[in-house]
Chains A and B, each alone.
Chain A
């Protein structure tokens, strides 16, 4: 398998937790993983981007216009990193409104108001899981919902189990809307 994913958001959104789910998942399937995280100077509210490469690679960084998937946990951060996507790549972005850029780069944009969904299930901090669930439902990511669910469950402390899995599910089943 060869897959490059960019996770972009702001501090406090659980960008690194989201990345970790895919690290662990790929690792558990015997894949090599390599990636890098950048976070700005402050803890909350600053830009956070993590790069993940699954497969045999020599460097942790994803080059511009080479990523297969982009998760944008926050609209601006998603858009800022659109240029990382290759032709034919897919962006899964948390945004309350539809976004342009669809046509010009031969990329596919999947938009979900994950903030709203997370709020609706009373777990506003689970935007990351809602968006991941949604991403899985697009069939652009070569992992199954069950696999992701199992890893998420393993990485989640017991008192958050139910809430986190619910968020994942809400995201996954939102595609039908």
Chain B
């Protein structure tokens, strides 16, 4: 016997197994993979001469209809019985179809029992009939028979000791269409004979008042033809109503072929005929004398639903009254009606499907969710099931939906779910088809390692057969891979956050260029299989008084841009996230304008800044920081020609800026934007300061700098070069002629080594060399050169000298870790061939003919921490050594030259402001830019009082966004673009820029895909689609919360991928009902207006702890 479980036929095979064990019978039983397979397995046994049966529910026979139709033609050898159980109601099926129709369509003889006892007798007869006519026989019980208990008399079992003996007969078993015609003719003959036999069958009989109906002279006003369980209901009812002597019943147990000779006399003997049968009108349709007949066809009997005693009673009374059999007086006997709302079926407490569905919906609330047949159909309660059709359809529906949308150029997320047993049943061909036809969707196989809904039958993945014998376990994952699936993840859905993350990752696979169907096996055993929870988590709901209206105001969600770490880290005060977000949208113009609101140097800054923003970037803790510097450079380079937004109207107020370096120029630029008339005084022949004369051209090409300075000039900033304040013009004079003065003269006074020989020929200052190179002057320097120092100047000089053909060694007195130069620059220098000696210090410079010959150095060792937090070093006695050198460059730092001031910095008069390297701050370009901007704003405030400052794009609250605020499941790990550079060989040959930029397209991709946009709303709509109350509305200026609808569940704040929604967590139940609505655990109940744990049904799975966005459900550790 073979079967596939399905209510109400699931108990048949275990029943046979029980008899086998009790009686010591040799019966082969198997749960087959599906009904078609089961049918063919059993049929083959019959072909070999053995008795065989196959059992299934009615829709199962749809699956097996192909072999059914054909096997009627071939016929059988051993008795072959098909059991197909119908489900009037329906209670647990997709349809109320009537299996007896197969008697008409497939021409299979049908037997229709009215009680379990009769089902047993018919089964016995069916085998005998089948064997005698070599034809399959269909036994059709309904749910009420399958799920009934009755006192039954058993006969001793009859043993059929047959050996398998298949007799070859190609014209029959392998018939071609021509022989099929012959077989059809044979079939007609068989059916004619069976019809004759049915006409005398004991399964068809007429009865009156409990006794066989005898011919009488007086016809009856009403006779009832009944089949199936309704016959029993009718008998009990007629007796109860006391009319069993007035209405005869013809019970038909052999619906097809229709026993006409039994029916004809009964019909002619009654004025009216009522037909009662379930679930459809198979007998009724076969009656020839239609005008007498009442039944489903004329609407006397409802066309849908079960014929319960109540329904039959109603029909009888209606027909009885019409025909005058029952007096009008008899009303319906009413019981006490208590209005109790229907209990809707739900997944069990602790069901792993609930966890999976919750995660799926959280991952993609807007997806289309095709699902399949099984317990998990109830995922519809969690809003994670949209379509249920039939076994295995989930995968095909998903494929079809994909193709339908794709045709229109649309993509919607589709997440299909299918159970493990259902996947085996009909999912495999569907998956192969999806892969072959290049469909794209996420398929979650809900593997609870059993066929749960029908009562825990093993699936083919089990190594145990139904009779506890050994079976070969078939691996679902191997099957999936075998179907050609490239994306497969196996996960325990009890880890809800991980499940959410995997579903999103799977969806991304479907969107990738070479993506396809992504399969997730959600694996956790059915809660009914494991009686004891491995980890018991008692939970409680924290109850607190309902929030007052004022509290509600505080508790409501608020869209509020927060401070991303990049912004906080930027010394220049750039709103990094803002320009990245414009870039991400492909809006180059706004991206440039956003930077230009703060400083005029995107191209410069993108090249030379030490980018602390990247150090701070949250993404760095995930994979690699966003390549912010490269993006700023791309924006500056590509958008450099974009005209500045209109500056404010000029106010005529004159301000002087002393020093045309980055700080001075930024100050001048910002002042000009504010409407001031600015005059810059620069001592050097050109403005730019260290940008112009310090940083070598291979790091910052001078035309890049010039372009950005031109933009400043375009604002009407006056620039006077070659003017040294304190020499050509006095500070006092400036003070007189200008309303305010910004001093940013920089640090140019070279520090000295203070060792013998420092003034020899061949000893240079680092900045002098850099300046000469930047001015295009020829310098006579060659051979072995030593560079003293560890800062950026030392590295820059060393690399420049290398390019001029020198062999360069840097001598630094401390260790590599303490080197103040940027790590990246050091690495590049080393790569280009610069040598670095650590822990060495020059003692003196040795001469030969007034020129340097060598340097004497001493080795150093690390000593205690100094006052500045850096480790001190001290010379090692006797470790002196000499190094032959043609030149030495001193690059140990510079300091401001304040000789022009006549006073200390803190004694400056009102109206004089300082910036750049005059400030006690790190001497970096970014810090200089920041001080320039701050200086401009301070001057603006000083001159015009408390005026509004130029507005920036985003108003941010100070609260910084940390990586914990980011939902990383949205962001696949992905490396930053590699930043192109010219070859080392080429780099060492000249002063061509080493680092190259990335394309605007690459930059936009980086900003769009890799930037988290920490704490900034990107209008991703995820809050809107997640809100269970549809309380979020998308407006012109972002989102709006409809507070009438908002229940304060806090899901929006919880699901925002980037922490852009602020909403305090109450850590107590606010009575929003979210857990009941979208987690729908039967052990979470609403009591008054608060959620509560129903201790009597809670199995302590602990899943709900993750669910409450307000943090009200907690583990109860006491």
Interface residues of A (CB under 8 A from B): 10, 12, 19, 23, 27, 31-38, 40-47, 52, 57-66, 76-77, 79-80, 82-86, 101, 104-105, 107, 115, 124
Contacts and interface: CB of A to CB of B under 8 A. Distances in A.
Contacts of B144: 36, 59-61
| Closest 5 pairs (CB-CB, A-B) | A59-B232, A63-B309, A83-B335, A105-B336, A65-B335
Contact of A104 (B148, B336, B1082): B336
A82 B148 contact: no
A40 B231 CA distance: 25
Q: Which of B310, B313, B527 counts the most chain A CB atoms within 10 A?
A: B310
Contacts of B378: 41-42
Nearest to A63: B309
25 contacts: A31-B151, A32-B151, A36-B144, A36-B148, A40-B91, A40-B345, A41-B345, A42-B347, A42-B348, A44-B1097, A58-B114, A59-B233, A59-B309, A60-B149, A60-B150, A60-B229, A60-B232, A61-B144, A63-B236, A63-B240, A64-B333, A82-B337, A83-B337, A86-B333, A105-B335
A107 B308 CA distance: 23
Nearest to A101: B336
Contacts of B343: 10, 40, 46-47, 76-77
A53 B343 CA distance: 25
B366 to A, nearest CB: 27
Given A64-B310, A79-B340, A45 B334 contact: no
Nearest to B350: A44
B357 to A, nearest CB: 14
Contact of A41 (B151, B236, B453): B453
Interface residues of B, number: 46
A57 B239 CA distance: 10
Contacts, number: 141
A125 to B, nearest CB: 10
B438 interface: no
Interface in B1076-1106: 1082, 1096-1097
Contacts of A52: 149
B349 interface: yes
A34 B149 contact: yes
Contacts of A33: 149-151
Contacts of B1096: 115, 124
A61 B144 CA distance: 8
A45 B348 contact: yes
B345 A65 contact: no
Contacts of A40: 91, 343, 345
Interface in B271-310: 308-310
Contacts of B704: none
B309 A64 contact: yes
Given A34-B151, A60-B232, A76-B343, 4 more contacts: A10-B343, A57-B236, A63-B237, A115-B1096
A65 B331 CA distance: 13
B118 to A, nearest CB: 11
B277 to A, nearest CB: 14
A45 B237 contact: no
A46 B346 contact: yes
A123 to B, nearest CB: 13
Contacts of B240: 63, 66
B335 A38 contact: no
Nearest to A119: B1096
Contact of B235 (A32, A41, A44, A59): A59
B147 interface: yes
Contact of A34 (B148, B346, B377): B148
Contact of A58 (B149, B151, B231, B527): B231
Contacts of A35: 148-150
A137 to B, nearest CB: 23
Given A36-B144, A46-B345, A84-B335, A58 B1097 contact: no
A64 B1082 CA distance: 29
Given A12-B1097, A47-B343, A80 B336 contact: no
B1063 to A, nearest CB: 33
Interface string B154-184: 0000000000000000000000000000000
Nearest to A52: B149
B1082 A44 contact: yes
Contacts of A64: 309-310, 333, 335
A109 B151 CA distance: 31
Nearest to B117: A34
Contact of B232 (A42, A45, A58, A77): A58
Given A43-B348, A63-B310, A64-B309, A37 B338 contact: no
Nearest to A104: B336
A173 to B, nearest CB: 23
